[in-house]
Structure 1
């Protein structure tokens, strides 16, 4: 069996247990010649969890099509308490937002928050920790939206996210090393029906069936996040949608508006890919959904992305020299059952599948 001792091979993101805040590992890039996993390769790795920052950068993606106003108001009502809980946990957050429709034929432009008075030099689209009257800001912003405006029938939450990441060099919404969390709300799928002719309903607008493009694919959104922010980016995509298979919720949404709803299949896919949360748009309140998302933000910082998928039963871990078994493996993601604090030494060994 071929043996490699690859120091700093893994990309690790940890949250400190004492503060429920983010702690990021220092790492060295994987050498190009070792970038691809080799079946049967044995990997060993040692690292000490270093102190990192406590930053989380949010992108809120609002579906502003005809049927969405009641649900957007529901989300706005819960966002103030959600952000207040982040502040009380010591997390340094900031937040931008965009819509699922195109602005000047481009998806992913940041929109200004309404009723927000930022500090000098801070743009009105960048909401930052410490802002006052957060509840009013979220509610004013939703109230001021042009719901059902031109182009809003072509909902593209994934493309908007993709482009927002691509524009990150100019929008100032993302800080180096910060955790990244997207919260999307929509009662339809990407491009309404996810490019699936079987999902088109009789009362869908003419032209609702539009082919998906590369930027509409969940895998490509994740690839763009890694391209712009690094392979070790701590990224969760959280969605409030008509959950796939929830026909009761879909019927409720259809009855509430002349515009039909659709299952959020592609949005759920990206949430699953990033270990994000999925909430139902039919819930009477989004408070529980937002609390779940908050926990996902923390939990996403308690895992390692491994170079390869480990062979079953080969993962061996020591924490500060003692055998450690409180972990799980899903694909090439190694998850700890509880956060690890700064100064913890991790020794890891496994075989590539």
Structure 2
């Protein structure tokens, strides 16, 4: 009898242990299932795009090769309205100018504006806010330029920009803390074809295919801007070019001159790197292009970093009280399809997992 009781006790003990063990094994899946169906964390907040520094220093880079005169005249006719719009926006601007070829054997040499007689010791190559008759000054300057000739076929807008920045301490074109904005107009690329042999055309001049050097590289121009103006400089490079892939525009430019045009691939790259604007050189007027540049020059917001990667399709945005859908989400980065300018109110809601 004692033996039977002992056996029964052992069996009961084993069964109890097995039951407890089975209970533990079943508990974990239940926790996992509950966690996966747990409610999400809803986030919502509002903010206003801040107002930035109202000082902007401009560098205009003219391509003065022999096919560019009609396009430079279009730019001159548009710049007066553009700068007038800057003043209406309350921007304290100043502007210098250079060309895509060396002047006086110096790349990035600041050229004088024509018909401009500044007071107070300001050099003739430095236009400032409040200058009267701007359109006339721009037109006089373009009409006085030497179009074509020695060295003009080797267009180096980035090298000119790089060297102009490098000379910032001596040319007086840049103020401490000001935003920096470059505008280039060209119907070719850096060194005509951007160092790309596949872009060469049968009527390109002999020796047109030249390698890009350090000063011709977009990343090095950005590095020079940060070196001279500070790592937090608000720098935009804006291009009026034959846009990459725009074969119709390229054909129009080719037909207008004996010199071939080329897509501005390298210029486009630097504009993309700096969130600058890109306009078409084939537009009948450059007013819209320049207005786009102006909107990018004022303080703006292009993206926001969210506290989590939001649940799919949970992001809801209101802009100044209206529903807004022109955005995309990449991980925890919210990107707006176009910059939101200063003063814009953003209402944002999304779910975190």
Shift of the alpha carbon at 1:179?
1.1
Corresponding position: 1:89 with 2:59: no
Shift of the alpha carbon at 1:230?
1.1
Partner residue in 2 for 1:107: 107
Partner residue in 2 for 1:139: 139
Shift of the alpha carbon at 1:304?
7.8
Shift of the alpha carbon at 1:338?
3.9
Q: How has the CA–CA distance of structure 1 residues 161 and 85 changed in structure 2, closer, same or farther, with 3 Å as cutoff?
A: same
Q: How has the CA–CA distance of structure 1 residues 310 and 262 changed in structure 2, closer, same or farther, with 3 Å as cutoff?
A: farther
Partner residue in 1 for 2:301: 302
Within a 5 Å distance, the mapping from 1:1-353 to structure 2 comes to: 53-298=53-298, 301-302=300-301, 312-313=309-310, 338-339=340-341
Q: How has the CA–CA distance of structure 1 residues 303 and 61 changed in structure 2, closer, same or farther, with 3 Å as cutoff?
A: same
Local SS of the residue matching 1:184: strand
Cα distance in 2 between the residues matched to 1:226 and 1:245: 31
Shift of the alpha carbon at 1:223?
1.2
Cα distance in 1 between the residues matched to 2:50 and 2:151: 47
Q: How has the CA–CA distance of structure 1 residues 330 and 289 changed in structure 2, closer, same or farther, with 3 Å as cutoff?
A: farther
Local SS of the residue matching 1:59: strand
Q: How has the CA–CA distance of structure 1 residues 88 and 58 changed in structure 2, closer, same or farther, with 3 Å as cutoff?
A: same
Shift of the alpha carbon at 1:130?
0.4
Q: Are the equivalent residues in 2 in contact too, given 1:56–1:180 (CA < 8 A)? A: yes
Cα distance in 1 between the residues matched to 2:329 and 2:109: 37
RMSD of the TM alignment (CA)?
3.4
Shift of the alpha carbon at 1:52?
5.8
| 1:138-190 C-alpha deviation (Å, 9 max, x unpaired) | 00000000000211111000111111111111111111111111100000000
Q: Are the equivalent residues in 2 in contact too, given 1:62–1:99 (CA < 8 A)? A: yes
Local SS of the residue matching 2:61: strand
Shift of the alpha carbon at 1:340?
5.5
Structure 1 or 2, whichever has the larger Rg, is 2
Partner residue in 2 for 1:349: none
Q: How has the CA–CA distance of structure 1 residues 231 and 201 changed in structure 2, closer, same or farther, with 3 Å as cutoff?
A: same
Higher helix share: 2
Q: How has the CA–CA distance of structure 1 residues 310 and 205 changed in structure 2, closer, same or farther, with 3 Å as cutoff?
A: farther
Q: Are the equivalent residues in 2 in contact too, given 1:302–1:335 (CA < 8 A)? A: no
Q: How has the CA–CA distance of structure 1 residues 50 and 74 changed in structure 2, closer, same or farther, with 3 Å as cutoff?
A: closer
Local SS of the residue matching 2:239: strand
Local SS of the residue matching 2:86: helix
Q: Are the equivalent residues in 2 in contact too, given 1:66–1:147 (CA < 8 A)? A: yes
Unaligned runs of 5+ in 1: 1-47, 317-324, 345-353
Cα distance in 2 between the residues matched to 1:117 and 1:67: 30
- What TM-score does the superposition give when structure 1 sets the normalisation length? 0.74
Aligned length: 294
Shift of the alpha carbon at 1:51?
7.4
Local SS of the residue matching 1:146: coil
Q: How has the CA–CA distance of structure 1 residues 237 and 50 changed in structure 2, closer, same or farther, with 3 Å as cutoff?
A: closer
Q: How has the CA–CA distance of structure 1 residues 276 and 51 changed in structure 2, closer, same or farther, with 3 Å as cutoff?
A: closer
- What TM-score does the superposition give when structure 2 sets the normalisation length? 0.74
Unaligned runs of 5+ in 2: 1-47, 316-323, 346-353
Q: Are the equivalent residues in 1 in contact too, given 2:309–2:331 (CA < 8 A)? A: no
Partner residue in 2 for 1:16: none
Q: Are the equivalent residues in 1 in contact too, given 2:191–2:209 (CA < 8 A)? A: yes
Q: Are the equivalent residues in 2 in contact too, given 1:234–1:301 (CA < 8 A)? A: no
